[in-house]
Structure 1
């Protein structure tokens, strides 16, 4: 079966769904191909810290009604080290706050909006292959749906299918350059119905390893421990997890901790990754398909949203005005923001984690940097500006 559209989007995660929504509002026809089921996509447990620019775009797109009703607005964060818990006043230092709203909930809102608009998403589309996106011809995709061969012809392809997706892997090796740093530890995450230990997130630096107490609501917490990459979830009972978390927290946070049975438990490796460029003829990469950041800086979803904004602007400009300017500048605009976020996420990771090869000298430097952070308004302002999100390029 052969179909046609203006923009073919690979991936029905937040970036693909948001891009489809923005294009549809501008009258640009698009079809999304997703290799998994809708239930699988909604089952992914991901981050939930939204920058102001992300919330602004969701507002402009008419997608933020439930977000404003159910989210939590945080004016700051806590950083704990050496038995103390210090507050960073994000709003006072930068003029902006952040919003806590789970990525799963954003995905649910986007799916509902797409269904209400009658837009086409093909779930469980397997064997997706990209054709003719670099040779000046009209690109197309082949795939299987319900075991039957399908073709989707289009003007442009947007690869929003994540780090392991087919879009980036379809680019010839000599046309792309990648930059990567893998970290010698992972994050063990637990989701549980228990009140947060503090009104805002607590980042803890400890000789035994990093810890983070986050939340999804006033009654549901998402907590993390730095762990070895050789660890397995089975090694970590709920009792062991909560005991270890308590040992890494400051006394005030530890006293507020209320252990509860885990709803979900998983281990995620940490990596920094960037692919350059983010455009290959008529194929554009966005979100995790083009870059990964360690979650310490809370930038992954927000970077995907800024990519989508730049790409949607370029595509809308092309179809409305037949102008190539936005598309020609997409990669450079997106990568400038990506590398700034990579720098901040790497700095936060280095500051708060214990590295296996870290000696006493490195530990002392880490302590000195944290001490300086809490004695310098300028240092706190720099952290706050990056954490709440830098302004988008014009």
Structure 2
């Protein structure tokens, strides 16, 4: 195990440090996937299997990593993905993420089940952020949340479409987070696990409250901790959601609508037909259907099927800026990163995330420059080595 004195350089470095700092049940919630975690592993492996085509003797003295995405100029094609319970991994982690994203010139997407609320994140800066939504059975609650997001300046909504049935997450079962035991008081390891992580206990457990789903507080006023909110949210997930609900959502949301969790070309065409402005090609970070293809594996198929008629993003397995270049080459306009940003904030706060994002940008510049490309917005499949 690397020395604590070493400066983290990669996502793997931040992951190791986050594992040391977090109670076991929280690290496993963040780090784990569904089933035997085959899809979780393939997300990373499929990126690694893609080879870049190195080219030489090209003028790459000026490299532009910026892109336009839904009317906004990004310094690089990266968006911080929504992560539920983010604020349990570091003190008010969503606020720290927003500050780092603002400084890096990229958007941050707040989860419906984040610890910090829309209004709290809004106070960080005037720079717009994205919001992620689940379709809840109570459509009145959905409408109210969307109205609050719009008032807060949100103009891009990421609607999660791959959670009709919750995947079996065995790490959460072992730790008591999935049914039965209380993850917040009687999880495996008990009080001893908190005491083994005194920095987290003081900084997050004691000083980082309130530990509630800020966006849902008014709907579950009696809830005092994430477990109680989770019970309400689980009861609100609507397994009957269909394309007609997306059509309804399009009538009540005036901004950009991005469907998150598409893995099939026919579903992608339906998304466009029902008013989606874009979609995230994603298997939910390997947390839903174990054995499902990775986003990067199906991205070219969907990009070809749509022929440029929609804005595509991809998530799952992105671990450096050269992965970003690969995603751009295969048809994405940008990537979303979830676990990487949370690892960094859990390990070293907003400064850690700022350093990680700087590393992503540098690696993207390297990937572009050494494939003879000078613009992230103009990357094509020519930078991918054909096997």
TM-score of the aligned structures, taking structure 1 as reference length? 0.23
TM-score of the aligned structures, taking structure 2 as reference length? 0.23
> Larger relative contact order (C-alpha < 8 A, sep ≥ 6)?
2
For the pair shown, which has the larger CA radius of gyration, 1 or 2? 1
